Structure 1
Amino acid sequence: MTPEDASKFIAYVLRHAPESIGLHLDAEGWAGIDDLVAGAVAVGRDLTRPDVVRAVDSGAKKRYELSGDGLRIRALQGHSTAQVSRSFDAVAPPVLLFHGTATRFLAAIRAQGLLPGARQHVHLSADEATAVQVGQRHGKAWVLRVDAGRMHALGHAFHRAENGVWLTACVPPEFLSEPERDA
């Protein structure tokens, strides 16, 4: 399994489908590395402990965290599984945050705002460049500005995951703006 394939597989299992390999996550998303590897092998995936450690250490996104004793792993955010309900401390966000999306989703976002979908939170970026990268995963990228300072002042909670991703329950349309583009 390539490092990229291993990382995608681990993300899928830890965020969305631990049951697909018979894995149990605790409420904070932790699973034993040996259990993850054994479950992967049981369903025909060629995953090893070094593959798991490499996935944690590689990539700019820093999707995973190892426990202090090196025996457990968890995804930092992005969970859609009901097994996990990570707790994050509420923190004051920067005045402006960004959300990268594909242009095909703009009509729904303009009408409904940003919703978490199957995930537990809406994911936001602290900088526009990161938002562009996120949006490009789904098609032609479009970056929305989020008036996080005003949202926070009106009582909306924000959290910051360990890898710098900003999280909130939703972003109503009135807090979104779009860059002016040349026609």
Structure 2
Amino acid sequence: MNEIQNKRISKFLSLILRHQPDIIQLNLDENGWAEVNELITKSEKGRMYFSFEELEEVVETNNKKRFAFNEDKTRIRASQGHSIDIDLALKAAQPPDFLYHGTAESNRSSILQNGIEKRTRQHVHLSADKETATKVGMRHGKPVILTIRTKEMHEDGIHFYLSANQVWLTDFVDAKYISK
């Protein structure tokens, strides 16, 4: 499979598994899992064609590890980033002292005033390193990297979760925890 096909399938999976499974009438359980055979069959009805082997390649080669199979590869889900109500069954974890949030320069003043909101997503996404945060910020315009004092947040009782693809998640970052 070439890179263009891989990217096309990946974008489709992001849409279906994170935001709109109803487009192809895909059933997700309460934890966001879908049956692989159902996904492939219903995707075909939606005119998106891929084999199990191609799906496996997309999951294995996705640089952000956006998707995960269960142990026997009969079920699949998005690792995080959902706008639909699902429970990833993540356990609270202690974050490092600092995490990073990449955003566009145009969002900086609002964030420094109001904090970082999850908006339509289930969580705010934070990165363990500046390089990843920069890549995220570049998707939205000229990137700005904000340093989040997560040790302080955690000490103040705010919960953090670490997704299967190593993205740190929390519900909200108050502006007082953002280093200026």
Bin the TM-score by the shorter chain: over 0.9
Which moved further from structure 2: 56-65 or 89-98?
A: 56-65
Three-state SS of the structure 1 residue aligned to 2:173 is: coil
Tell me how far apart the structure 2 counterparts of residues 115 and 55 of structure 1 sit (CA, whole Å): 30
Match of 1:79 among 82, 87, 94: 82
Q: Which residue of 1 aligns with 2:166?
A: 164
Report the secondary structure of 1:131's partner residue: helix
Superposition TM-score, scaled by structure 2 size: 0.94
For 1:2, what is the secondary structure of its paired residue? helix
Q: Which residue of 1 aligns with 2:66?
A: 63
Other-structure match for 1:146: 148
The partner residue of 2:46 within 33, 43, 51 is 43
Q: Secondary structure at the match of 2:68?
A: strand
In structure 1, runs of 5+ residues without a counterpart are: 179-183
Match of 2:26 among 20, 23, 27: 23
2:10 is the alignment partner of 1:7: yes
Equivalent of 2:91 in 80, 89, 92: 89
Identity %: 38
Q: CA deviation at 1:60?
A: 2.1
TM-score after normalising by structure 1:
0.93
d(CA) in 2 for partners of 1:107, 1:36 = 42
Whole-angstrom CA distance in 2 between matches of 1:112 and 1:19: 33
Note the C-alpha offset of 1:12: 1.0
Q: Would you say 1:133 and 2:135 are equivalent positions? A: yes
The SS at the match of 1:133 is helix
Q: Which moved more, 1:99-108 or 1:162-171?
A: 99-108
Kindly provide the CA deviation profile for residues 135-175 of structure 1, in whole angstroms up to 9, marking residues without a partner as x. 11111111000000000000000111111100001000000
